[in-house]
């Protein structure tokens, strides 16, 4: 037995060194991935993967940390809640921490939870089973019956103070019908009907649709303008009394009281005794799922007796008296009515399935991506097939399987040979699955190029959505992205459904976009293989966009993070006459073409690749990385043979092992500063 203790003061059991190294490596990878997706989910309301996929990552991390408890750290995602306060809102401290719940994914895990509690505290122990609403968790604090503070969960200890926004909800009263001092916790959500209405309005306005009701609710509640919140029509269910002057014996009693004093409480909340009753309630909620007017992502099982909750206690992140059962990813059957072809901004032709509308994971689906023609062949997808669809990343609808038992005489899909828009022969590049139209004058390419250019991630021209771009092209007002900057107020006002205010807003948005940094313009131009990150890297290495016209592939390839394909693509793009015509007209229109080179404090670290690991009392890791870059050094996230130096703080972890293995020098922060005079 080792003398070492882990985070919880437990003795560390010695394990096979090889297994430990592998576990360290996988844990580091999982934590990085989970932190990335937590940031998107909790703070940006823009998830890239489904809740189920995220849950599986977290489940694997928990399993590894259980097997190797010596590797648990306070900063691990399993030990904290993922949210943070948004800039623009005041911070709100929670007197009672707003914890998350321990997720389980099978009836067997629910049974294990109930069994453990009942074995220790008696077979007649009561549990409460409730719907787990898919929204944003908030706290409401009433003093003498008046709402004094409303806040988001944030990281569980500190959230955002959003009282004015919460008062825009019809179900939240500023004054209760008693003078109670009470704090309650609830879930703010967007009903299915209201979500569909809002998406209809966005579609008519030519704006991007909201991906799902959870993101819509979270994004709305964190708006800085309370009027926007009022217009969206959010709702709330309160599911817990956090703190009260009155004493309650049970959770169900506390909810009954909250309801009596004017608080809108959770609609489905049933008391159950024993595993059979608990599972019956979970099954009932699962069966109700489609018919509920709001989205849920699980069922919560919690101990009803409040003093028993105190006895059971909590971990740093979750209560020990509750679990959240998560239903499997939702799949629905529908029928493929048509397979349409879309031509993207780079000429790639992508098949799209038009399906009989069906509701899946919070939104009504009428079309599904088919990825590419090899995907159609692999799954043997045919028009008229009954298929099961799901949402990939809770955002993109895709076909999971074809229901072969319902296939009749559907014909095999024939891959197209010509562009559906211009009739040009489609080509497939060596080693690629995509078919591409190579006609640069293709109308579809122009449409997609302009739409992409105006999108939020590129030039961010508010109001210039798909429907408006289509009108502009149909009316002969634009044929390429430069034309946007020569539009007049009178021309826009002549478009369908455009009035004085909307016309002025669009022209103002176009003019405002002229000030954007060069990376947004580069990304907006739609150069093949150049995403947002690559666009920023390129913009940091030129004085103006014109520098690209005399750079070779070799020049570009020498830039860190620019690959061979990327370099060749940039050279090819800027060698075209049409490209330079567009750039010249953008320049003439006053669009910013200047690079974003940063002035370096010195060249002391020029040519060095440095890895920063662990935590530092004197400086944050982010600020240390910026300091290195300001002196011409490159910061890398992983140790390799190319690493010049590792700067190690406390709890540095597996990167030190790798550095020692490769013979890379390791220094602390003080030694680094003294050596380089920084």
5-9 average pLDDT score: 45
> Is 555 within 8 Å of 495 (Cβ atoms)?
no
Better pLDDT: 334 or 424: 334
Give the model confidence (pLDDT) of 118-137 as tens digits: 999 999 999 999 999 988 99
CA-based nearest residue to 263, from 156, 363, 140, 372: 140
Of 60-69, 114-123, 158-167, the one with minimum mean pLDDT is 60-69
Let me know if 493 is a catalytic residue: no
Above 80 in pLDDT, residue 486? yes
Percent of the chain with pLDDT over 90: 48
Question: Between β-strands 435-437 and 396-402, what pairing exists: parallel, antiparallel or unpaired?
Answer: unpaired
Q: Tell me what pLDDT residue 208 has.
A: 67
Of 37-51, 230-244, 440-454, 587-601, the one with minimum mean pLDDT is 37-51
Q: Tell me what pLDDT residue 16 has.
A: 58
Confidence label for 660 from pLDDT (cuts 50, 70 and 90):
confident
Of 144-148, 230-234, 655-659, the one with minimum mean pLDDT is 655-659
Better pLDDT: 380 or 625: 380
Confidence label for 74 from pLDDT (cuts 50, 70 and 90):
low
The domains of the chain are located at: 17-79, 91-325, 332-431, 443-588, 609-676
> Is 380 within 8 Å of 334 (Cβ atoms)?
no
Would you say domain 332-431 falls under CATH 3.30.950.10? no
Q: Tell me what pLDDT residue 168 has.
A: 92
Contacts of 617 (CB under 8 A, 6+ apart): none
Of 192-196, 300-304, 354-358, the one with minimum mean pLDDT is 192-196
Would you say domain 17-79 falls under CATH 3.30.420.40? no
Q: Which residue do the tokens 């979970």 mark?
A: 282
Q: Tell me what pLDDT residue 321 has.
A: 96
CA-based nearest residue to 159, from 225, 216, 90, 220: 90
DSSP type of residue 176? -
DSSP type of residue 86? P
> Is 559 within 8 Å of 551 (Cβ atoms)?
no
Q: H/E element holding 195?
A: helix 192-204
What is the residue-averaged pLDDT of the chain? 86
Above 60 in pLDDT, residue 282? yes
Could you please state the CATH topology (level 3) that the domain comprising 91-325 is classified under: D-amino Acid Aminotransferase; Chain A, domain 1 (3.30.470)
Confidence label for 362 from pLDDT (cuts 50, 70 and 90):
low
Would you say domain 443-588 falls under CATH 3.40.50.11600? no
* Region of residue 368 (left: phi > 0; alpha: psi -120 to 50; beta: else): beta
CATH architecture assignment, domain 609-676? 3-Layer(aba) Sandwich (3.40)
Confidence label for 41 from pLDDT (cuts 50, 70 and 90):
low
**What is the spatial distance between Cα 647 and Cα 666, in angstroms, rounded to a whole number?**
6
> Is 606 within 8 Å of 676 (Cβ atoms)?
no
Above 80 in pLDDT, residue 210? no
Above 70 in pLDDT, residue 199? yes
Q: Tell me what pLDDT residue 127 has.
A: 98
Strand partners, 137: 187
> Is 316 within 8 Å of 156 (Cβ atoms)?
no
> Is 638 within 8 Å of 611 (Cβ atoms)?
yes
Give me the catalytic one of 24, 132, 207, 326: 132
Of 307-316, 322-331, 617-626, 663-672, the one with minimum mean pLDDT is 617-626
């Amino acid at each position: 037995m080792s003398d070492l203790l882990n985070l919880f003061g437990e003795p560390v059991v010695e394990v096979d060194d090889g297994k430990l190294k592998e576990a360290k490596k996988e844990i580091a990878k999982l934590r990085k991935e989970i932190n990335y997706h937590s940031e998107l989910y909790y703070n940006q309301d823009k998830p890239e993967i489904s809740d189920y996929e995220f849950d599986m990552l977290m489940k694997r991390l928990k399993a590894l940390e259980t097997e190797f408890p010596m590797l648990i750290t306070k900063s691990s995602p399993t030990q904290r809640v993922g949210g943070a306060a948004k800039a623009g809102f005041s911070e709100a401290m929670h007197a009672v921490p707003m914890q998350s719940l321990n997720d389980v994914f099978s009836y067997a895990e629910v049974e294990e939870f109930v069994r453990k509690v009942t074995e220790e505290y008696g077979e007649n122990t009561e549990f409460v089973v409730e719907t787990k609403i898919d929204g944003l968790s908030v706290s409401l604090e009433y003093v003498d019956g008046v709402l004094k503070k409303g806040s988001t969960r944030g990281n569980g200890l500190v959230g955002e103070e959003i009282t004015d926004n919460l008062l825009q909800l019809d179900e939240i009263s500023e004054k209760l019908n008693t003078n109670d001092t009470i704090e309650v916790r609830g879930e703010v959500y967007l009903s299915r009907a209201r979500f569909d209405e809002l998406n209809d309005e966005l579609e008519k306005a030519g704006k991007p649709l909201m991906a799902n009701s959870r993101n819509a609710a979270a994004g709305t509640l964190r708006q800085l303008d309370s009027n926007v919140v009022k217009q969206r029509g959010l709702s709330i269910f309160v599911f817990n009394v956090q703190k009260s002057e009155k004493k309650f014996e049970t959770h169900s009693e506390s909810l009954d009281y909250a309801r009596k004093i004017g608080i809108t409480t959770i609609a489905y909340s049933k008391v159950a005794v024993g595993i059979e009753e608990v599972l019956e309630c979970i099954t009932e909620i699962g069966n109700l799922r489609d018919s509920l007017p709001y989205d849920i992502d699980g069922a919560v099982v919690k101990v009803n007796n409040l003093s028993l909750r105190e006895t059971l206690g909590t971990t740093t992140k979750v209560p020990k008296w509750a679990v959240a059962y998560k239903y499997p990813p939702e799949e629905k059957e529908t029928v493929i009515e048509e397979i349409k072809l879309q031509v993207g901004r780079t000429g790639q032709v992508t098949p799209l399935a038009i399906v009989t509308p069906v509701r899946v994971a919070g939104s009504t689906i009428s079309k599904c991506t088919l990825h590419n023609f090899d995907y159609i062949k692999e799954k043997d997808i045919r028009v008229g097939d009954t298929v099961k669809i799901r949402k990939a990343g809770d955002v993109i609808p895709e076909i999971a399987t074809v229901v072969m038992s319902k296939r009749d005489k559907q014909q095999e899909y024939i891959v197209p040979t010509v562009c559906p828009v211009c009739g040009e022969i489609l080509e497939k590049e060596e080693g690629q699955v995509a078919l591409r139209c190579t006609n640069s004058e293709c109308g579809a390419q122009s449409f997609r190029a302009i739409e992409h250019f105006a999108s939020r991630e590129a030039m961010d021209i508010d109001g210039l959505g798909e429907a408006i771009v289509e009108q502009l092209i149909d009316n002969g007002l634009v044929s390429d992205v430069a034309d946007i900057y020569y539009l007049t107020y009178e021309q826009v006002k002549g478009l369908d459904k455009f009035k004085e205010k909307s016309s002025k807003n669009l022209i103002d948005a176009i003019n405002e976009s002229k000030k954007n940094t060069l990376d947004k313009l580069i990304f907006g131009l739609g150069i093949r293989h150049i995403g947002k990150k690559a666009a920023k890297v390129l913009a940091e290495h030129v004085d103006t966009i014109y520098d690209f016209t005399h750079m070779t592939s070799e020049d570009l390839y020498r830039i860190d993070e620019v690959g061979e394909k990327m370099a060749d693509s940039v050279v090819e793009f800027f060698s075209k006459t049409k490209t330079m015509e567009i750039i010249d007209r953008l320049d003439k229109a006053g669009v910013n073409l200047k690079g974003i080179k940063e002035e370096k404090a010195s060249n002391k670290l020029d040519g060095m690749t440095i890895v920063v690991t662990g935590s530092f009392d004197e400086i944050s890791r982010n600020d240390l990385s910026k300091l290195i870059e300001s002196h011409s050094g490159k910061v890398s996230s992983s140790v390799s043979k190319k690493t010049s130096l590792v700067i190690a703080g406390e709890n540095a972890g597996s990167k030190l092992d790798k550095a020692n293995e490769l013979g890379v020098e390791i220094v602390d922060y003080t030694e680094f500063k003294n050596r380089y005079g920084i």
